[in-house]
Amino acid sequence: MSNHLLLSIAGLTKVFGGLVAVNQISFDIQAGEVVGLLGPNGSGKTTLMNLISGALRPTQGSVTLEGRRLTGLPPHRIAATGVARTFQLVRVLPSLSALENVMVGAVFGPDQVSPGAARAVARSVLERVGLGGREHLHPAEMTYIDQKRIELARALAADPRILLLDEWLAGLNPTELQTGIELIRSLQAEGRTVLMVEHVMDAIRSLCDRCVVMSAGSKLAEGTPAEVLANPDVIRAYLGDDHA
């Protein structure tokens, strides 16, 4: 695992009308790290993800991937540099089969795999997320969890340099949660870089090398999971003043 600077976020700001949803956020991610993005509801985590993936243009600040400036590029160009993501509200393609859904990631991803070869890639990724043998079902015939798996598989099929997961573990029952955590751990083991928004504390403690905590758009703390979860400011942000 080569430990070099992969993604660098500097002074990133997004204003919606009068609301500052993301306020001067800066942090770095090293290659091979799994970084957790934490914060109470409405603190701007999804907006930050949207700024990185190009769904939104920042009001100020920059995002750099290995020295290449991503700020202001349209989402398809950012995807081509190796940024892949899942969405908080799962987005699968209803008229495509599971296999085709996942192929999309490989065919249009940074490697531009040919449709024939993408089929093979999609099969193996589906196998990996636990959907082996169900390639030909359509999303409508699958459960919510399996749809989330398809979405992760689609992102993985692109063989991304960095994977953005927006509450991918939310809504899973305890057994599924364990499988989900194992899955992300296996990604970590193969050296993938992941930025994950998460509320599930177990997952954060066991997976993240480092965490960034946001509150009301600003960065509140940064450090190992144990450090940030013990930080009085963080506790106050989550639970209110009385608990600090």
Per-residue contact flags (x/-) with Mg ion for residues 70 to 109, judged by CB under 5 A = ------------------x---------------------
> Does 46 participate in binding Mg ion (rule CB under 5 A)?
yes
**Residues sharing a CB contact under 8 Å with residue 106, sequence separation 6 or more, in sequence order:** 113, 117, 118, 121, 122, 157, 158, 159
Which of 108, 123, 128, 130 lies at the binding interface for another protein (CB under 8 A)?
108
- Write the single-letter amino acid at 118: A
Binding-site partner at residue 144 among ligand ATP, another protein, Mg ion, none, CB < 5 to 8 Å by type: none
Sheet containing strand 68-69, strands side by side: 19-30, 5-16, 60-65, 68-69
Amino acid at 74: P
Q: Which amino acid is at 193?
A: T
Q: Which is closer to another protein, CB of 100 or CB of 200? A: 100
Q: Which residues of 141-153 are buried (b: 16+ CB within 10 A; e: fewer)?
A: ebeebbbbbbbbb
| Nearer CB in complex with ligand ATP: 51/98 | 51
Q: Which two tokens stand for residue 11?
A: 């002074």
State the residues that interact with another protein by CB under 8 A.
16-17, 53-56, 74-76, 79-80, 84-85, 87, 91, 93-96, 100, 103-105, 107-110, 115, 154, 158
State the residues that interact with Mg ion by CB under 5 A.
46, 88
